[in-house]
Chain A
Amino acid sequence: GDSVTQMEGPVTLSEEAFLTINCTYTATGYPSLFWYVQYPGEGLQLLLKATKADDKGSNKGFEATYRKETTSFHLEKGSVQVSDSAVYFCALIKAAGNKLTFGGGTRVLVKP
């Protein structure tokens, strides 16, 4: 079945550091890929998405590129802030489907 694997956290960084969270997926066909963010005590919010190979999703300084050859969708940000402290989830939806398959989540803690 479909699956999403992302690096385990927690990831602890200093402010202005570079952040990478690895995400790889297993799915047949051509899924859409997503990154969701969950701030403490809140529900998930869509951070960015990409719907086809080589697409780059970007939002709030975060970027991720859909790499079909490596089945990856790694999340990056060049300079993190304390406010980026959250849990980040990689997810996919297959074509003609409605079900999000989530990775296990990666907790990021940014210290001042």
Chain B
Amino acid sequence: DAGVIQSPRHEVTEMGQEVTLRCKPISGHNSLFWYRQTMMRGLELLIYFNNNVPIDDSGMPEDRFSAKMPNASFSTLKIQPSEPRDSAVYFCASSSGQGWSNEQFFGPGTRLTVL
């Protein structure tokens, strides 16, 4: 199994530009999570989907952030317009079922730098 795949691995952009981060979950997993990791705030859950439906987006920082999951094998996190404070590592994770002890499998992350 290829694991959770994220692209790009690194993204450098200028303030005001649109940024799209991509995630392919593990085949057969029906829950998908987007996290952000910064030195200041640690790991934060931004949004999660179950069966392609957004369940909880309370962690999305503001309207500049949006996430979609058009099918079971693909999700995007978009930032428009981007700002320097959005610089962080963004992780996607997936898990099977809704069991509360189910392991979440993390992708390698996308390191975003907004200049």
Contacts and interface: CB of A to CB of B under 8 A. Distances in A.
Contact of B101 (A41, A44, A93, A105): A93
Interface string B23-35: 0000000010100
A49 B101 contact: yes
A73 interface: no
Interface residues of A, number: 23
B43 interface: yes
Q: How large is the interface on B (under 10, 10 to 19, 20 to 34, 35 or more residues)?
A: 20 to 34
B14 to A, nearest CB: 25
Contacts of B101: 32, 49, 51, 93
B87 to A, nearest CB: 17
A100 B31 CA distance: 13
Given A43-B107, A43-B109, A45-B106, A98 B43 contact: no
Interface of B: 4, 31, 33, 42-43, 45, 48, 50, 55-56, 91, 93, 95, 98, 100-101, 103-109
A105 B42 contact: yes
A89 B93 CA distance: 15
Given A43-B91, A93-B100, A98 B55 contact: yes
23 contacts: A32-B100, A43-B91, A43-B93, A43-B106, A43-B107, A43-B109, A44-B93, A44-B106, A45-B106, A46-B103, A46-B104, A49-B101, A51-B101, A93-B101, A95-B100, A96-B100, A98-B33, A98-B50, A98-B55, A100-B33, A100-B45, A102-B43, A104-B42
